[in-house]
Amino acid sequence: MAHDEIAAVGSGPPGCPLDPVLSLLALKWLVHVVWLLGRNETLRFAELQRQLPGSISAKVLSGRLKQLEALGIVEREDKGTSPPHVVYRLTTYGQAVNDLLAGIELRARQLSLPGAPLISFLEESNEINQHLSRL
């Protein structure tokens, strides 16, 4: 890929193409919210808040959910009832982010297996990549 193409793909200056993804994943609570919503079809605000690790204030969670909505990762559905009944779910894009996280989890578990040295993981990855390149 040419230098110009790399600059066109990212939204910032030329550099590592992973920067936008890593910046997204570094947002506080994003990974946890996506992970929980990826394991549940929908969650209400209080359910989500209860299941998050640690303590997160309603104000912070509300702000994060609004940001995730603006990014197109989470969808908010207001059932229009009184008292309010609002549920959150992942969008198609949010599902793709969740799939990315699942892949990272799988690799992380492979790397931390006791008795499985890193070199065997790297050899396995190289074999897989060679196989895929032949397809």
pLDDT for the residue 23: 86
Distances 35 to 12, 70, 86, 105, 108 between C-alpha atoms, Å: 27, 18, 19, 11, 15
The answer to whether residues 79 and 87 touch, using CB atoms and an 8 Å cutoff, is yes
Distance CA(76)–CA(42), nearest Å, equals 10
Q: Which of 80-89, 93-102, 117-126 has the lowest mean pLDDT?
A: 117-126
Average predicted confidence (pLDDT) for the chain: 79
What CATH number does residue 22 fall under?
Answer: 1.10.10.10
- Report how many domains make up the chain: 1
Side chain identity, residue 51:
Q
Cβ-proximal residues to 84 (8 Å cutoff; 6+ apart), any chain? 78
What CA–CA distance (Å, rounded) separates 103 from 106? Answer: 5
Full residue range of the structural domain in which residue 21 is found: 3-134
**Mean pLDDT of all residues in 80-109:** 89
Beta bridge partners of 77: 87
What is the distance between the alpha carbons of residues 122 and 23, in angstroms, rounded to a whole number? 26
Taking 50 as the threshold, does the pLDDT of residue 5 lie above it?
Answer: no
The pLDDT-based confidence of 105 (bands split at 50, 70, 90) is confident
| pLDDT band per the 50, 70, 90 thresholds, residue 83 | confident
CA distance 65 to 20: 19
Q: Give pLDDT, residue 4.
A: 42
Contacts for 12 with CB less than 8 Å, ≥ 6 apart = 19, 20
* C-beta neighbour count of 14 within 10 angstroms: 14
**Residues 19-52: tens digit of each pLDDT:** 888 888 888 888 999 999 999 999 999 999 999 9
Q: What is the DSSP track for 99-113? A: HHHHHHHHHHHHHT-
Predicted local confidence at residue 81, as pLDDT: 85
| Mean pLDDT value across residues 1-25 | 63
